[in-house]
Amino acid sequence: MADDAFAALPQEFRDMCAGVLIRVMDFPDEDTMRTMDCETPFDLLGLFHGLGLAQGGAFQHTGQFPNQVFLYRRPILDYWAEHEETLGDIVTHVLVHEIGHHFGLSDDDMEAIEAAAEAT
């Protein structure tokens, strides 16, 4: 589903994501939960981890992990069970939002990308 959501994003947006890894995990790890001040493992739907383009993340430095977007499967499924949105729309929203952190995009920019994905 994450692959499908990514494939539906505008091509120019996907092209700019070269080198960003998209990972699906059941839950955030303990370090992430502590860093993000989460009370439960269900508090976080996704996370961008790395250096965004605005912070110089376009260049890989020795010893630096690649930029990654994490989608947390179980919290996303719980969110879906409690809301009216489709699961695909939620996955797309979380994916665009987290990739948006990589680019330093505004909420309006991210909404436009989601709208373009829905149009395809």
Quote the pLDDT of residue 61. Answer: 55
CATH class of 2-119: alpha beta
Global pTM reads 0.84
Q: How many CB atoms lie within 10 A of CB 49?
A: 17
pLDDT in tens, 10-65: 898 888 788 889 999 999 999 999 999 999 999 999 999 887 655 555 555 555 67
Residue 102 CA to residue 43 CA, distance in Å, equals 21
Q: Are 114 and 80 in contact (CB under 8 A)?
A: no
Please tell me the chain's helix, strand, coil percentages from 3-state DSSP, rounded to the nearest 5. Answer: 50, 10, 40
Residue 67 CA to residue 36 CA, distance in Å, equals 17
Q: Are 48 and 103 in contact (CB under 8 A)?
A: no
**Residue 51 burial (10 A CB sphere; 0-12, 13-18, 19+):** middle
Quote the pLDDT of residue 66. Answer: 82
Mean pLDDT of all residues in 90-94: 95
